[in-house]
Every structure is written in structure tokens, then in C-alpha cells.
Chains A and B, each alone.
Chain A
Amino acid sequence: MSRILIIGDHCNLSSEIGAALKSLELPLEYAAGHADALKRLRMHSFGVVVTNCDSAVEEDLALLAEMREIRPGLKCIVLARQSTPDEVIAALRARVFACFTPPFDACEIAHLASHAASESQWRDDIQVLSAKPGWVSVRVNCRMVTAERLMTFAKELSAQLPPDTRQEVMVALREILLNAMEHGAAFNPEQVVEVTSIRTARSFVFYVHDPGAGFRRELLTHAAIANPVDDPAAHIAKREEAGMRPGGYGLLLASGTVDELIYSEIGNEVLLIKYVDPEQPTETK
């Protein structure tokens, strides 16, 4: 388990993240600022750095480049006041581990930082295939932590959506992405899922392609989405019968939060569309 360096010892968030990490018995230190962080990195080995939540992404990426001169394998969790799609793409390309903007959730950040501290095979887990502000395509290895990482970037890329819309799209994407990795690749880290996020003038589109053999809808009796209208809990009994954990609401949830959820014939490709009213005010970040 490698050590974690948190930059910015003066703010509440840093303290909260620190407290959450300490409760997990993770070794950590605080740095007062960027120069102090560089100094500490020269003196001790750290595997993870969490940047200051008051900084800008551009500044954090410049700092990361400096820090990697000292510790090339360093993982970085970027906390920033705000992000633009260009900055999120730059962060992906700089192999930032995860990226967060307000409102921050200290527990979520600490949770990812703890993953980062124990990860050694992360560096090529998210490969950028093609990226410009309205269109980002990535290939990701099928690991839970990679999905969690990708979700932080996807959340930032959808920052211009109205908050409710954004939350709904993220819920759907998360379900579909985890389904793809679990059912399409059995969380085999050697296999990859391709995810494309496209922001158009009137819609937000996600396309997810997993390496699996797909599924047949009539075999989905363990999922709530396949329940007959007159028996909305039918899948629960099926799951018990098959000895599966409780759940099976993922697809139902996903289909209820986006406007269109369409599978290819085989079932290993899925398109999520959320239509956006061009007149609807968007959150400017």
C-alpha cells in the first residue's frame, strides 16, 4: 500500500479526505502547497497525490508533470474549482487517475484514493482513442476501479448539462458500463470496453461496446426490466432460484433515466440518448 500526499492542509475538504483515509489505515501526509509537495516527493516515496481543491486543472496538470519528473509512476487525483471539456481531455491524456469538481464528496474521493494507493496496473487502463470537446472515445480495461475512474471523467464531460439531466445520464451510464464489464467481460482486466461520449446541440449520446457474446432478452428473467406488467417483482424469485445476489434493477434504472436505450442485435453494443432542450438553461462551469 503506497503513501498518499494531500495538497492543501488548510481546507475542510482536505481534512475530511484525510480523516476518511486514516480510518482505512492508509498512510498519508499533507503538503502546504505545490512547492512543498515537490519537496516532499523528493524526500519520500508517495504513490498517490490528491491536488488542492482550490486550483485550476491546467495548474494541476503542470504540477503533475513536475511531480512525475520526480516520481514517474505517481497517480494523481485532480480536485479543481471547475473543468472544461478541453481540460478533462487533457487530464485523461495526462493519465490523471480521477478528476473531481464541486460539489465534492470526501468519501468518494477517499474511496478512489484508496484504490489508487493499492493499484499497480492502472496506467493504460483508460486509452483515449479520439477526443475533442463534443466527442470523446476511450477504450477501458474491464475492472471495477477503471469504471469508477472513467465515471469521474464522464461526469466532468457532462458538466454543461442541467444538474438533473446530468445525474440521470450518469446513473444510466454507470449501470450500462458496469453491466458491460461484468456480463460482457466478467471483469477480465485483459478485455476492453469501448465508450464514446458525444455531446450534440440537442442531445447527449453514450455508446458502449463490450467484448462479450451479448445476451438474449428472453433470457433476462433475472432482471427487473423483463418483468411482466402484472408481476413487477418476478425477477426477485428468479434471482433467488438461481442463487444470485439481490438486485437486477440496473437496466430498468438505466432505461428510466435516459430517453432512449437501444441494444444492437447481439446485445453487446448499447446506445444511450438523452435529448436536451436547446432552450433549457445549462449550468456554466
Chain B
Amino acid sequence: MSRILMIGHQCELSEEIGSALKAVNLTLECAAGHADALALLRMRTFSVVITSCENKVEADLALLAEMRSIRPELKCILLTLSSTPNEVIAALRAHVFACYTPPFSAREIARVASYAATDGEWKDDIQVLSAKPNWLSVRVNCRIVTAERLMTFERELTARLPERTRREMMLALREILMNAIEHGAAFNPDRTVEVKAIHAARSFVFHVRDPGTGFRFDHLKHAAIANPPDNPAAHVLEREKEGMRPGGFGLLVASGTVDELIFNEIGNEVLLIKYLPAGDRETA
């Protein structure tokens, strides 16, 4: 288990993250600022850095470049006041491990930091295929931690959407992404899923393609989305019969939170569309 360096120990968030990391027995040190962080990195080995939540992305990326000249394999969890799509793209291209803006969840950041501390095979897990502010295409390896990482960037890319719309889109994307990685690739880290996020003027579109052979809707008896209208819990019994863990609500939740959820013929590609009401387009 490698050590974590947290920059800016003054703020409440840093303390909360620190407590959460200590609770899972992770070795943590704090740096007072950028210069102190560089000095500490020269003296000792750290594999993860969590930046101060009061900085801008641009400053953090400049710092990351400096830090990687000392520790080339350093993983960076970027906390920042705000982000623009261009900054999120720059962070992805700089192989930032994860990216957060307010409101912060100390628990979530600590959880991803603990992944980062134990992860050796992360660097090429998210490959940017094509990126501009309204169109991001990535290829990601099929690991839960990679999906978690990607979700942090997608959340930032949707930052200009109204909060409720954004939350609903993220919920749907998360379910579909996890399904793709689990059912389309059996969490095989050597396989990849492609994800496109396209922000049009009147809609937000996600397209997810997994490497699997797809599925047939009539074989989805273990999923709530296939329940007959007069038996909304039919899948629970199916799952018990098959010895599956409780659940099966993913597709139902996803389809309920976006305007359109469409699978291709085979079932290995899915399109999620959220239409933006006229009043919300101005903020997009």
C-alpha cells in the first residue's frame, strides 16, 4: 500500500478526507502548499497526491507536471473550485486519476484515493480518442475503478447542466457503464468499452459500446425492466432461483432517468439521450 500526500491541510474537507483515509489504514501526509508538496516528494515516495480544493485546474495541472518530473508514476486526484470542459479534457489527457469540484464528498474522494493507492495498472485505462468541449470519446478498460474514475470526469463535463438533469444523466450513465463492463466484458481488464459524451444545443447524448456479444431482451428475466406490469417483483424470484445477488434494477433506473435509452440490435451498444428543456439550454 503506497503513501498518499494531501495538499492543504488547513481546510475542513482535507481533514475529513484524512480521517476517512486513516480509517482504512492508509498512510497519509499533508503538505502546506505546492512548494512543500514538491519538497516532500523529493524526500519520500508517494504514489498519490490529492490537490488542494481551493485551486484552479490549470494550476493543479502545472503542479502535477512538476511533481511527475520527480515521481513520474504519481497519481493525482484533482480537487478544484470549478472546471470547464476544456480543463476536464486537459486533466484527462494529463492522466489525472480523478477530478472533483464542489460539492465534495470526502467519503467518495477517500474511496477513490484508496483505489489509487493500490492500483498499479491505471495509467492507460482511460484513453482519449477524441475530445473537444462538446464531444468526448474515450476507450476505457473494463475495471470498476476505471468506471469510477471515468464517472468523475463525466460529472465534470456535465457541470453546465441543471443539477437535477445532471444527476439523472450520471445515474443512467453509471448503470449502463457498469452493465457494459460487467455483462459485456466480465470485468476483464484487457477488454475495453468505448464511451462518447456529446453535448448538443438541445440534448445531451451518451453512447456506450461494449465488446460483448450483447443480450436478448427475453433473457433479461433477472432484471426489473423486464417485469410484467402485473408483477413488478418477478425478477426478485428469478434472481433468487439463479443464486444471484439482490438487485437487477439498473436498466429500470437508467431508463427512468433519461428521455431515451435505446439498445442496438445485438445489445452491445446503447444510446442515452436527455433532451434539454428550452429554459435549461441557455445554461448549457
Contact = CB atoms under 8 A, between A and B. Distances in A.
Nearest to A267: B130
Contacts of B205: 205, 271
A262 B265 CA distance: 25
Contacts of A131: 265
A273 B271 CA distance: 13
A200 B269 CA distance: 15
Contact of B264 (A132, A205, A260, A262): A132
A95 B201 CA distance: 38
B137 A264 contact: yes
B118 interface: no
Interface in A15-48: none
B130 A202 contact: no
A24 B153 CA distance: 59
A134 B273 CA distance: 14
B260 interface: yes
Contacts of A265: 130-132, 135
A134 B260 CA distance: 12
Interface residues of A, number: 23
Nearest to A259: B202
A131 B265 CA distance: 5
B259 interface: yes
Interface string A242-285: 00000000000000000110111110010101010000000000
Given A137-B264, A200-B260, A275-B202, A263 B271 contact: no
Contact of A130 (B201, B269, B271, B275): B269
Given A203-B273, A262-B135, A264-B132, A130 B265 contact: yes
Interface residues of B, number: 23
Contacts, number: 67
A120 B262 CA distance: 37
Contacts of B266: 130
Contacts of B259: 201-202
Contact of B265 (A135, A202, A264): A135
With a 10 A CB-CB cut-off, give which of A134, A201, A202, A264 has the most chain B CB atoms: A264
A134 B262 contact: yes
Contacts of A260: 200-203
Interface in A194-211: 198, 200-203, 205
A254 to B, nearest CB: 15
B275 A202 contact: yes
Nearest to B135: A264
A263 B137 CA distance: 12
B200 A262 contact: yes
A271 B271 CA distance: 13
B188 interface: no
Contacts of A262: 134-135, 198, 200
Interface in B196-215: 198, 200-203, 205
Contacts of A263: 135
A53 to B, nearest CB: 30
A273 B264 contact: no
Contacts of A203: 203, 260, 273, 275
B68 to A, nearest CB: 24
Contacts of B198: 262, 271
A28 B159 CA distance: 63
Contacts of A200: 260, 262, 271, 273
17 contacts: A134-B262, A135-B265, A137-B264, A198-B262, A259-B202, A260-B203, A262-B135, A262-B198, A262-B200, A264-B137, A265-B132, A269-B137, A271-B198, A271-B200, A273-B203, A275-B202, A275-B203
Interface of A: 130-132, 134-135, 137, 198, 200-203, 205, 259-260, 262-266, 269, 271, 273, 275
Given A132-B265, A135-B262, A202-B275, 9 more contacts: A131-B265, A132-B264, A200-B271, A201-B260, A202-B273, A203-B260, A259-B202, A260-B203, A262-B134
Which 6 pairs, one residue from A and one from B, show the smallest C-beta to C-beta distance?
A: A132-B265, A265-B132, A264-B130, A260-B200, A265-B130, A130-B265
